[in-house]
A and B are shown apart, each in its own frame.
Chain A
Amino acid sequence: MDDAAAPYVEVSGLCVVGREDGAAPVPIIIDLNFAIARGEVLALIGESGSGKTTAALALMGYARRGCSITAGHVRVGITDVLALPPHGLTAYRGRNVTYVAQSAAASFNPSQRIMSQVIEPALVHGLMSRGEAEDKARMLFRALALPDPEGVGSRYPHQVSGGQLQRLMAAMALITGPDLVILDEPTTALDVTTQIEVLWAFRNVVRQLHTTAVYVSHDLPVVAQLADRVVVLHGGKEQETAPIATILHEAEHPYTRSLLAAAKPSSKVASTPVAADAKRDVLAISGLVAGYGGLDAQGMPRFPVLHDIGFGIGPGSVLGVIGESGCGKSTLAQVIAGLLPAAHGTMLLDGRELPRRVAERTPEQLQAVQIVFQMADVALNPARTVAGILARPLKFYHGMRGAAARRRVAELLDMVHLSLQLAERYPDELSGGQKQRVNLARALAAEPKLILCDEVTSALDTIVAAAVLELLAELRRELGVALMFISHDLSTIRAICDQVMVLYAGRAVEAGPRATLESKPMHPYTELLLASVPELRTDWLDGIERAALEEASAGLTMEDLHRPCPFFRRCPVHLPGLCDVQPPPVQRLSKGAAIACHRTEDELRQAQ
């Protein structure tokens, strides 16, 4: 790709350092070089701390507080960006290079209407009149397939959904017709079924306008849909630069390969379920209803979150619970842990009734069920050392102290593959992966029969997450502990679970063995969810039907929660007059799964 003619954008010898008060400067970007041709989309790929955002911001001559650009050249078109004086930078930013941030919800000013923010770059740079700018904005809204392109501008940011805000921000970035657009993880904060529509809109606009862009992401399958070339960053250094096809099929650098390996579903981790015939379930749940707010006259919570949930987890087996944000999957873990008492339903632990409140449970019951939270950062007490954190459950459950406790702490650290030297560290001195391992070790300290894992890998980088997943599989193999594994990520669920349950708006829409995710027919929502997950090939997005996108982009609204079938509005095969009147019956499919749907197996097979 390196043509003889000077490239359109050129970065050479870029160095950025960060400086905390009083501490020695830490290099964030070290001698980075890359070039972008006109109309090309270049991806900066890396995990957190790789410096990808910092590098992208340097293209705008911008460094965040505490960071400074110490060396290098950035040339965009004919502009030597780093040589610009302050007023020159102000004139350049938002005019020649524009930025789409990761969290549109936080990046829109909450006190201004959307239209005035979208056209602001055009106005402050004096490019067009207000009327012209608004016309162009509406044109862009249509190009980005936003619903209600005429009216959306007069709303405030909090009145618009996250997926739409992300597209509105793209309109803001495109309104000045910039030389270069920087897209910084623009879909990372979105649910998969929302992400697909945003990706599709971005890709179309970029193709239509021949936009030159930098796409910053940690997510290889997403990047594969948009990027022409990829720069792989690690620890602030360039590891490999190559066209996307080369990266996907014949990556050279070992780091790139480990990224690829972590992004591919590795079902080798999951073992076949332990023979679950003779023994009864560790945990059996039926008719579970839970929510927030007081109970009404019918004994229903004011804000119900879970409706009539039932399942069983066999000894040593893994149940995967999958769903998007707001589906109630974390609430389910809290209900089982007794933190949020259920309003209805029975829970049996080893065949005996498990009280709904944690305060009413016996020490044995408490010990048998442990919970591990998503955010390792806040799940560990910052005022206690690792040893202190692990010693607490040892003392509480087993009355263990002194030398015996110290020995056990060492064993636990060993079990989660952490060095004994970490015992005297405080949580803020650990990396994200280490914290999550300590978190697991704390649950293991109780010697439980069942561990509830609530998105335990979601906040981690892909490679670290893959390692934690591997650890979980190993613990389950060696200790025979059962897991309820909650996640929004299909590949993670596929990798580790024996059974799966798909949640939508607090209802189980499909449940069955892991293979149920592979074979059709399936519940329409399951199908949408599966279809929305980007695949590690460049033509995935091209193969998606436009019709499927419209359903996906609709999202869940408050009204949907009160429908007999909350998926009714988004469902491609809904039956008006039936689905919106009667709750869907639970039926067993021949593949061995149960779904909640009015459509028969044959009807679904034909539709899918």
Chain B
Amino acid sequence: MSAAQRTAVVAPVRRRSVTLGLSATGCVAALVVIALLVLAVIGPMLAPYPPGAIVTDDLFGPMSRAHLFGTDYLGRDMLSRILESARYTLGIALPAAALASLTGTSLGMLAASAGGLTDAALSRAMDTLICFPSIIFSLVVVAACGSSVTVLILTAGVIYTPGCFRIVRSIATDISAKDFVHAARARGERSPAIVLEEILPNMVAPILTDFGLRFVFIVLLLSSLSFLGLGIQPPYSDWGGLVRENLDGLSSGAPAVLIPAICIAVLTVSINLLIDSLPSRKGARRG
């Protein structure tokens, strides 16, 4: 019994950090993302001018005290335009990413746990969707259905579902092969309980990471669509649309064209850096 007690005493305690364990870069990135989300919600209230109002004759005006981000091709205040458009950029990308994550996760789980014909059918369907470069798929849909907010959310949601599906399915298949899932099955638990109690709790981190990535892709896709003039239609606009509107100001280096582009980059780069700095939960190898 002495040996038994010895093992009980020698318990390696590993610290489970209270902070998220983010690096300095990660913390800054997280703050930027949160700030942008808050701005999208309360932004219009902070806008110095009504977003649609033409407030000056100075087209493509430079940054000034009156117009922090300069003025656009019609003489509207860019800061107000940016704050207004944030709602479209984030307000479409967020639900679209959520849609992609939700359908991708549920279908991926279904494929992994049901296996057989269900898995084969779902996987082939997803393979078909994956063949479409995302912007090509969007172009086809826009050609057919126009580009209302609903259509954009659905399109972006659908085209990024397969990516999430594949990741979830492969991780869930890996976990299903683990002995703790076999143990639950041998205990007599049913599939839904096994998915919810045993598999899903181990997938929260990868699903959230994937959600972040999908979100970035969707922001980029929708901005590109708007930049091509096929996204949100005037008078409304997202950041990509603002770049397009003010493209004529490019030759003079107007802030009106650069600032919205930079806004997009700040958002997506921050999210990517945040994801990149998430601590991976793998211990080092010891011999």
Does chain A touch chain B in the assembled complex, meaning CB atoms less than 8 Å apart? yes
Q: Could you tell me which A residues sit within 8 Å of B by CB distance?
A: 18-21, 28, 49, 51, 53-54, 57, 64-67, 258, 334, 337-339, 358-359, 361, 363, 366, 370-371, 373-375, 378-384, 392-393, 396-397, 417-419, 421-422, 425-426, 428-431, 433-434, 437, 442, 446, 463-464, 466-467, 470-471
* Complex-state Cα separation, A370 to B217, whole angstroms: 47
Shortest beta-carbon distance from A601 to chain B in Å? 40
* Complex-state Cα separation, A375 to B8, whole angstroms: 19
Please tell me if the beta carbons of A466 and B3 are within 8 angstroms of each other in the complex: yes
Chain B 167-190 interface 0/1 with A at a Cβ cutoff of 8 Å (1 = within):
000000000001110111111110
Please tell me if the beta carbons of B7 and A363 are within 8 angstroms of each other in the complex: no
Please tell me if the beta carbons of B197 and A430 are within 8 angstroms of each other in the complex: no
Shortest beta-carbon distance from A396 to chain B in Å? 6
Please tell me if the beta carbons of A419 and B202 are within 8 angstroms of each other in the complex: no
User: Which residue from chain B places its CB closest to the CB of A436 in the assembled complex?
Assistant: B7
Shortest beta-carbon distance from A379 to chain B in Å? 4
* Complex-state Cα separation, A134 to B165, whole angstroms: 51
Please tell me if the beta carbons of B12 and A429 are within 8 angstroms of each other in the complex: yes
Please tell me if the beta carbons of B14 and A428 are within 8 angstroms of each other in the complex: yes
Please tell me if the beta carbons of A419 and B8 are within 8 angstroms of each other in the complex: yes
Listed residue (B6, B8, B14, B182) with the most chain A CB atoms within 10 angstroms of its CB: B8
Known contacts A429-B12, A431-B7, A464-B7; is A470 also within 8 Å of B1 by CB?
yes
Known contacts A378-B180, A431-B12; is A358 also within 8 Å of B7 by CB?
no
Shortest beta-carbon distance from A514 to chain B in Å? 23
Please tell me if the beta carbons of A358 and B186 are within 8 angstroms of each other in the complex: yes
Please tell me if the beta carbons of A64 and B287 are within 8 angstroms of each other in the complex: yes
Measured between beta carbons, the chain B residues less than 8 angstroms from A430 are 11-12
* Complex-state Cα separation, A67 to B286, whole angstroms: 8
* Complex-state Cα separation, A382 to B201, whole angstroms: 9
Please tell me if the beta carbons of B201 and A381 are within 8 angstroms of each other in the complex: yes
Please tell me if the beta carbons of B286 and A381 are within 8 angstroms of each other in the complex: no
Shortest beta-carbon distance from A499 to chain B in Å? 23
Shortest beta-carbon distance from B130 to chain A in Å? 29
* Complex-state Cα separation, A422 to B6, whole angstroms: 14
Q: List 18 A-B contacts (CB under 8 A).
A: A54-B287, A66-B285, A339-B186, A361-B188, A370-B186, A378-B179, A379-B180, A380-B180, A392-B187, A419-B11, A426-B16, A428-B283, A429-B13, A429-B14, A434-B7, A434-B11, A467-B3, A467-B7
* Complex-state Cα separation, A19 to B14, whole angstroms: 14
* Complex-state Cα separation, A425 to B5, whole angstroms: 18
Known contacts A373-B179, A425-B11, A429-B13; is A358 also within 8 Å of B188 by CB?
yes
* Complex-state Cα separation, A567 to B8, whole angstroms: 44
Select which of A19, A28, A338, A429 is within 8 A of B186 by beta carbon: A338
Please tell me if the beta carbons of A446 and B187 are within 8 angstroms of each other in the complex: yes
User: Which residue from chain B places its CB closest to the CB of A463 in the assembled complex?
Assistant: B3
Known contacts A337-B186, A431-B12; is A381 also within 8 Å of B198 by CB?
yes
Known pairs A375-B179, A396-B187, A431-B10; list 18 more (Cβ under 8 Å): A20-B283, A21-B284, A51-B287, A258-B3, A338-B186, A339-B186, A358-B186, A371-B182, A379-B180, A381-B198, A381-B201, A384-B201, A392-B197, A419-B8, A421-B11, A429-B13, A431-B7, A442-B183
Measured between beta carbons, the chain B residues less than 8 angstroms from A28 are 286
Please tell me if the beta carbons of B188 and A396 are within 8 angstroms of each other in the complex: yes
Please tell me if the beta carbons of B7 and A381 are within 8 angstroms of each other in the complex: no
* Complex-state Cα separation, A437 to B197, whole angstroms: 22
Shortest beta-carbon distance from A338 to chain B in Å? 7
* Complex-state Cα separation, A144 to B184, whole angstroms: 47
Q: Of residues 7 to 40 in B, which have CB atoms within 8 Å of A's CB atoms?
A: 7-14, 16
Known contacts A373-B183, A382-B202, A422-B11; is A53 also within 8 Å of B188 by CB?
no
B143: interface (CB < 8 Å) = no
Measured between beta carbons, the chain A residues less than 8 angstroms from B144 are none
B4: interface (CB < 8 Å) = yes
Measured between beta carbons, the chain A residues less than 8 angstroms from B284 are 18-21, 65-66
* Complex-state Cα separation, A32 to B188, whole angstroms: 52
Select which of A373, A425, A470 is within 8 A of B182 by beta carbon: A373
Shortest beta-carbon distance from B13 to chain A in Å? 6
Shortest beta-carbon distance from B191 to chain A in Å? 10
Please tell me if the beta carbons of B198 and A417 are within 8 angstroms of each other in the complex: no
Measured between beta carbons, the chain A residues less than 8 angstroms from B11 are 419, 421-422, 425, 429-431, 434
Please tell me if the beta carbons of B286 and A18 are within 8 angstroms of each other in the complex: yes
Measured between beta carbons, the chain A residues less than 8 angstroms from B1 are 417, 470
* Complex-state Cα separation, A75 to B8, whole angstroms: 40
User: Which residue from chain A places its CB closest to the CB of B286 in the assembled complex?
Assistant: A18
* Complex-state Cα separation, A92 to B285, whole angstroms: 25
* Complex-state Cα separation, A20 to B180, whole angstroms: 28
Chain B 266-287 interface 0/1 with A at a Cβ cutoff of 8 Å (1 = within):
0000000000000000011111
* Complex-state Cα separation, A20 to B17, whole angstroms: 15
Please tell me if the beta carbons of B8 and A381 are within 8 angstroms of each other in the complex: no
Listed residue (B16, B182, B284) with the most chain A CB atoms within 10 angstroms of its CB: B284
Please tell me if the beta carbons of B285 and A65 are within 8 angstroms of each other in the complex: yes
Measured between beta carbons, the chain A residues less than 8 angstroms from B197 are 392
* Complex-state Cα separation, A466 to B202, whole angstroms: 32
Known contacts A358-B188, A373-B183, A431-B12; is A417 also within 8 Å of B287 by CB?
no
Q: Of residues 52 to 104 in B, which have CB atoms within 8 Å of A's CB atoms?
A: none
Shortest beta-carbon distance from B263 to chain A in Å? 33
Shortest beta-carbon distance from B171 to chain A in Å? 13
* Complex-state Cα separation, A167 to B264, whole angstroms: 60
Measured between beta carbons, the chain A residues less than 8 angstroms from B189 are 396
Chain B 188-208 interface 0/1 with A at a Cβ cutoff of 8 Å (1 = within):
110000000110011010000
Query: When A and B form their complex, which 3 residue pairs have the shortest distance between CB atoms, in order from nearest?
Result: A383-B201, A366-B188, A467-B3
Measured between beta carbons, the chain B residues less than 8 angstroms from A371 are 182-183, 186
Listed residue (B185, B186, B285, B286) with the most chain A CB atoms within 10 angstroms of its CB: B186
* Complex-state Cα separation, A374 to B286, whole angstroms: 21
User: Which residue from chain B places its CB closest to the CB of A365 in the assembled complex?
Assistant: B188
* Complex-state Cα separation, A45 to B278, whole angstroms: 39
Measured between beta carbons, the chain B residues less than 8 angstroms from A422 are 8, 11
User: Which residue from chain B places its CB closest to the CB of A452 in the assembled complex?
Assistant: B186
Please tell me if the beta carbons of A470 and B180 are within 8 angstroms of each other in the complex: no
* Complex-state Cα separation, A470 to B3, whole angstroms: 9
Please tell me if the beta carbons of B3 and A49 are within 8 angstroms of each other in the complex: no
* Complex-state Cα separation, A323 to B142, whole angstroms: 64
Measured between beta carbons, the chain A residues less than 8 angstroms from B9 are 419
Measured between beta carbons, the chain A residues less than 8 angstroms from B198 are 381
Measured between beta carbons, the chain B residues less than 8 angstroms from A378 are 178-180
User: Which residue from chain A places its CB closest to the CB of B205 in the assembled complex?
Assistant: A383
User: Which residue from chain A places its CB closest to the CB of B201 in the assembled complex?
Assistant: A383
Please tell me if the beta carbons of B5 and A417 are within 8 angstroms of each other in the complex: yes
Shortest beta-carbon distance from A46 to chain B in Å? 11
Shortest beta-carbon distance from B22 to chain A in Å? 11
Measured between beta carbons, the chain B residues less than 8 angstroms from A381 are 180, 198, 201-202
* Complex-state Cα separation, A418 to B283, whole angstroms: 24
Shortest beta-carbon distance from A479 to chain B in Å? 16
* Complex-state Cα separation, A393 to B186, whole angstroms: 11
Known contacts A371-B186, A396-B187; is A379 also within 8 Å of B7 by CB?
no
Please tell me if the beta carbons of B7 and A433 are within 8 angstroms of each other in the complex: yes
* Complex-state Cα separation, A434 to B180, whole angstroms: 16
Measured between beta carbons, the chain B residues less than 8 angstroms from A437 are 7
Shortest beta-carbon distance from B116 to chain A in Å? 12
User: Which residue from chain A places its CB closest to the CB of B9 in the assembled complex?
Assistant: A419
Measured between beta carbons, the chain B residues less than 8 angstroms from A21 are 284
* Complex-state Cα separation, A382 to B9, whole angstroms: 21
Measured between beta carbons, the chain B residues less than 8 angstroms from A18 are 284, 286
Measured between beta carbons, the chain B residues less than 8 angstroms from A429 are 11-14, 16
Measured between beta carbons, the chain A residues less than 8 angstroms from B5 are 417
Listed residue (A57, A373, A375) with the most chain B CB atoms within 10 angstroms of its CB: A373
Shortest beta-carbon distance from A269 to chain B in Å? 12
Shortest beta-carbon distance from A437 to chain B in Å? 8
